């Protein structure tokens, strides 16, 4: 059966949706008639706002939409974390909010679209991100909570996302 500790997301549909909507806000932010305040906004936030409007009322499940939006907002972290000296706890905390494997694949697709080869610095940073996440044991799965599966099941949460949120609150 399903583990009480299984994540609420499904990585690959979410990463695909994130790739589709990642830059939908770029035109709004960079258009010639954009207000100065709009130009100051990162296009990821504008893309998320636009994507949420477009997807509202669609058949895309809410957890898939929201995980995809979290991936879009966190997209640059995969490139910044390896050189920042971030401790393992940073990777562990991030893995509780989104799937680092999905984040890796989103960034990898972006770099391939930009024509980056495997020896280019951005690709090397992304591979360092993957290696560190794997070393921390959080590549493709959240950091395990402090409770064992049986006490978590006894809390009574039925949905994986509810269980995950409750464990994060602990």
Q: Whole-angstrom Cα distance, residue 128 to residue 64?
A: 27
Read off the pLDDT of residues 111-165 as tens digits, 9 standing for 90 and up: 999 999 999 999 999 999 999 999 999 998 887 766 676 777 777 777 777 777 7
Q: Whole-angstrom Cα distance, residue 118 to residue 122?
A: 9
Do the beta carbons of residue 161 and residue 63 sit within 8 Å?
A: yes
Residue 22 lies in a domain: yes
- Count of structural domains within the chain: 1
Domain housing 105: 11-169
Residue 142 lies in a domain: yes
Residue 4 lies in a domain: no
Residue 113 lies in a domain: yes
**DSSP track, 42-95:** -HHHHHHHHHHHHHTTSSS-HHHHHHHHHHHHHTTHHHHHHHHT--HHHHHHHH
The structure's pTM equals 0.74
Residue 3 lies in a domain: no
Read off the pLDDT of residues 29-49 as tens digits, 9 standing for 90 and up: 666 665 544 443 478 888 889
Residue 2 lies in a domain: no
Residue 29 lies in a domain: yes
Do the beta carbons of residue 71 and residue 97 sit within 8 Å?
A: no
């Amino acid at each position: 059966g399903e583990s009480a500790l299984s994540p609420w997301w499904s990585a690959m549909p979410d990463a695909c949706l994130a790739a589709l909507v990642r830059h939908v806000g770029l035109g709004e932010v960079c258009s010639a008639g954009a207000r100065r305040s709009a130009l100051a906004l990162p296009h990821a936030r504008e893309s998320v706002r636009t994507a949420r409007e477009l997807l509202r009322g669609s058949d895309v499940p809410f957890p898939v939409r929201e995980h995809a939006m979290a991936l879009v907002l966190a997209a640059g972290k995969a490139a910044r974390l390896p050189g920042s000296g971030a401790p393992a706890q940073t990777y562990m905390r991030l893995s509780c909010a989104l799937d680092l494997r999905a984040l890796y694949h989103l960034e990898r697709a972006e770099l391939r679209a930009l024509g980056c080869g495997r020896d280019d610095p951005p690709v090397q940073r992304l591979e360092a991100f993957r290696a560190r996440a794997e070393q921390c044991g959080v590549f493709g799965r959240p950091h395990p909570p402090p409770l064992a599966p049986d006490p978590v099941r006894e809390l009574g949460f039925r949905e994986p996302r509810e269980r995950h949120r409750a464990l994060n609150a602990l």
